[in-house]
Amino acid sequence: MATLVSSLLMLCLLSQSSCRGFRSPLSVFKRYNENSRYLSNECLDAPEQIISSDSPEFSLDIRMPGVTPLESDTYFCKSYRLPVDEEAYVVDFKPHANMNTAHHMLLFGCNMPSSSEDYWNCDLGTCTDKSNVLYAWAKNAPPTKLPEGVGFKVGGASGSKYFVLQVHYGDVSSFKDNHKDCTGVTIQLTMEKQPMVAGIYLMMSVNTVIPPGKKVTNSDIACAYKRHPMYPFAYRVHTHHLGKVVSGYRIRDGEWTLIGRQSPQLPQAFYPVAHHLDVSSGDTLAARCVFSGEGRTAETHIGDTSVDEMCNFYIMYYMEATHATSYMTCVQDGRAELFRNIPQEANVPIPVDSTMMMSHEHHHHEAMKDPVKNSFALQQPKREQEEVLDQDFHLEEVIDWPGVNLKLGQVSGLALDPKNNLVIFHRGDHVWNGNSFDRTFVYQMRGIGPIEQSTILVVDPSSSTVLHSTGKNMFYLPHGLTVDKDGNYWVTDVALHQVFKLGAQGGDSPLLVLGKAFQPGSDKSHFCQPTDVAVDPATGNFYVSDGYCNSRIMQFSPLGKFILQWGEESSSPAAKAGQFSIPHSLALLPDLRQLCVADRENGRIQCFRLETGDFVKEIKHKAFGSEVFAVSYVPGGLLYAVNGMHYMTDTAPVQGFLMNFSSGEIIDTFLPVRKSFDMPHDVVASEDGTVYVGDAHAKTVWKFAPTEKAEHRSVKKAGIEVQEITETEVFETGVRNQPKLTEVVAKAQKQQEKQKTAEQTESRVSFVLITTLLIIPVVVLIAIAIFIKWRKVKVYGGDSEHKHESSSGGLLGRLRGKGSGGLNLGNFFASHKGYSRKGFDRLSTEGSDQEKDEDDGTDSEEEYSAPPPPPLPPSAASSS
């Protein structure tokens, strides 16, 4: 009987659990009554994604699909496709997060998530292409709030097609019961154009070095702002463990105005700006990160692990929609004389409550118990606690830039003038081919005369409108171009074998000419197909790479007086430092007093000291292939290059490269979206991170802009328990080519109907499973009954069996029910106190369709009195 009761009790609990998705009623009750976990129950009935067909506004519910992180500091990512193809604007956010469950969450916009899985560990990244931070929520931090009339542009030709939600689960102790979490955010969108468009301005140091043991190290960043006015409304700071305080300012007419100041050890979030302000052309944006090297035994550099550091200051802003830019960067080191006037508050650390600190501090608090272990943890973090940095920005082609449609000849040189306008040097209707020169490098096409078109074009970097042009009837085969700090143009012509300096306003007469027209040579007064020029802004000295024939670098005074030269020809695979095989392009590093040379046919970059020509370093990567065509530098430590493809031997793809000059590492690669590079001949980069590539064969200029890619995250090799996802995810598969919002609604409804059908199928499967489990103990009961019957027949004979079974109060009588002897569990359970028959009367092993429900006729345990047992036969009485 004990076995019978236990079996029935188990069945009862299973039946009740089935109504709650196979969860223990006790755990459900407990979780509903614990405020720290109330959100996890929204997985049961989380609101569906909503689109209204009656208005241009709609909302999208973006949630984790019922996840259970198993280790602390787990980062999960989940992607959602924008349900419309047309341009839309994100105008509001409503978080669904609990500080006791999620440490922080970020919402990104991009076009290509890093995974197609339902959700994934963010070790894989968030997006493979550009990504912009649209929203941030963090424990104990205020949520991001967009001002009225401001929206993040998504969809359309250039906006993000996907949202990627990243949730950081810092402490997973609240998941001991293995419940599912649906942390996320509901975003409000509209199809109506917004007057203001939001964007992100990232200020980032790439060259900071923190000496070991030094109490205070400042990392300063500053850039002149040269665009249309922007209006900051939120900011965010970021460092790793050594950061104490990060501050950002606008400098106007010598006055420093605070944008935001915060401890980087507080949660990752955007905080409201300190003051309402604007940033206009002519202003300077400045930021300072304060670090302490105490506890370190070696220098700390900017890098991609937790033993390295970062210095980032993000500004969330809005601009007028007509000329809005969604992402800008500043990576230039701040000048010491500028930062002498920074407010003292920038170096005052902000006290942080240990309960509010970032999660990486949690591990170090644990290590603090043992000073020896703590020292080791700071120097060599465990692999599972190591932090990885996906590059904070990725270069993407600006596909709507009209400059690709300019009518150009072979583009040979690019530069930026002091106003940040793009300057293009091209060959008009002339081309360089196999008939252009003889074996002695003498130009053979003099008879066709100089190029009649303007060979130098100054264009607006946004609209590509030609602002100024010059260089008509002056050049035969243009090649290299640079613009000095005064706006003068320095160019080379490989047909003329000459170097020219032209005034900022152009004109018919050059200010300076070096070399003899059409006369190649190798002495101090001749060039042989010179390729490029670089001008030192500090001294006015200039450098010429000479070139296709001479393989040398020449230095001249501002007036053109020869100073020195270095270099010799070598195309050997083992070419030594200072040897060149076509020094094709120059990049001057004014802050480091170096000159870098694209050693084209040797597939490398060589750098030398400006004053002496002494070799400093070589940068060479397998990804370069056998050719490096051009190189460009942005003060602050970023080096850009483009390679080429050798017509016989190369297999490396033709692309652009972004490198950390200090380490020589490739940070990023970039290439056009619509078609491939043909012959990228020159590259130039601005302080805000915009990059231009001139393609000689394609006769065009490509424009690339930095867009935020990903946030750094902890790498925790956590085991992920795969959960069945039953929550509806509308538009997960993506809705393509939808001109009308009503079509989206229709498809969403179909998706919901499919989901309901799936849920019904799952429900039927669950019912069959429960029924099977019920049958097992019933079979056991029948076996017991048969055994009892057999015993009684053996002991009492057939008459006693008949009397006992016919009694309505007997056990088997209640089990078999009122009909034709069917086994009815409803009648059995109904005979026990407090039980309601609802839902069980028809759970019978046979004849259930013919059974009638007569609840008022059911006996209760209080009303029922079992008949006395039959008298013992004489033989039995005597034996006892």
Q: What positions carry a catalytic annotation? A: 103-104, 166, 168, 238, 240, 310
Helix axes 371-379, 359-367, angle to 10 degrees: 140
Residue spans of alpha helices (H) in 316-473: 336-339, 359-367, 371-379
Give the Cα separation of 837 and 853 in Å (integer): 9
Q: Is the peptide bond before 428 cis (omega within 30 degrees of 0)?
A: no
Kindly give, in sequence order, each residue whose CB lies less than 8 Å from that of residue 441, ignoring residues fewer than 6 positions away. Answer: 497, 520, 528, 529, 548, 549
Sign of CA dihedral 753, 758, 763, 767: positive
Give the Cα separation of 686 and 634 in Å (integer): 7
CB 318 within 8 A of CB 276: no
- Cα end-to-end distance, the chain, whole Å: 24
248 burial via Cβ count (<10 Å: 0-12, 13-18, 19+)? buried
CB 530 within 8 A of CB 545: yes
CB 777 within 8 A of CB 4: yes
Give the Cα separation of 395 and 576 in Å (integer): 33
Query: Is 481 marked as a binding-site residue?
Result: yes
User: Token match 């692999």: residue?
Assistant: 383
Kindly give, in sequence order, each residue whose CB lies less than 8 Å from that of residue 6, ignoring residues fewer than 6 positions away. Answer: none
Give the Cα separation of 730 and 746 in Å (integer): 11
Query: Is 177 marked as a binding-site residue?
Result: no
Kindly give, in sequence order, each residue whose CB lies less than 8 Å from that of residue 64, ignoring residues fewer than 6 positions away. Answer: 76, 78, 119, 165, 167, 181, 182, 183, 184
**DSSP E strands, 672-799:** 680-685, 691-695, 700-708, 713-714
Query: Is 479 marked as a binding-site residue?
Result: yes
Query: Is 802 marked as a binding-site residue?
Result: no
**What is the edge-to-edge ordering of all strands in the sheet holding 498-502?**
478-483, 489-493, 498-502, 512-514
Beta bridge mates, 249: 258, 286
Give the Cα separation of 343 and 365 in Å (integer): 32
Query: Is 104 marked as a binding-site residue?
Result: yes
Give the Cα separation of 547 and 557 in Å (integer): 19
CB 198 within 8 A of CB 388: no
Beta bridge mates, 558: none
Query: Is 427 marked as a binding-site residue?
Result: yes
Kindly give, in sequence order, each residue whose CB lies less than 8 Å from that of residue 530, ignoring residues fewer than 6 positions away. Answer: 479, 480, 492, 493, 494, 497, 498, 499, 515, 544, 545, 546, 547
Sign of CA dihedral 317, 318, 324, 326: positive
Query: Is 241 marked as a binding-site residue?
Result: no
Sign of CA dihedral 642, 647, 652, 655: positive
Chain centre distance of CA 292? 29
Total Cβ atoms within 10 A of residue 434? 5
The SS3 assignment for 11 reads helix
Amino acid at 452: E
Query: Is 584 marked as a binding-site residue?
Result: yes
CB 411 within 8 A of CB 696: yes
DSSP class per residue in 102-166: -SEEEEEEESSBS--SSSEEGGG-SBSS-EEEEEEEETTSPPP-PPTTEEEEESTTTSBSEEEEE
Amino acid at 94: K
Total Cβ atoms within 10 A of residue 466? 13
Query: Is 526 marked as a binding-site residue?
Result: no
CB 157 within 8 A of CB 399: yes
- Annotated binding residues for Ca(2+), written as ranges, equal 414, 481, 682
**Annotated binding-site residue numbers for a protein:** 427, 548, 600
Residues of the binding site for Cu(2+): 103-104, 168, 238, 240, 310
- What residues are designated binding site? 103-104, 168, 238, 240, 310, 414, 427, 479, 481, 548, 584, 600, 681-682
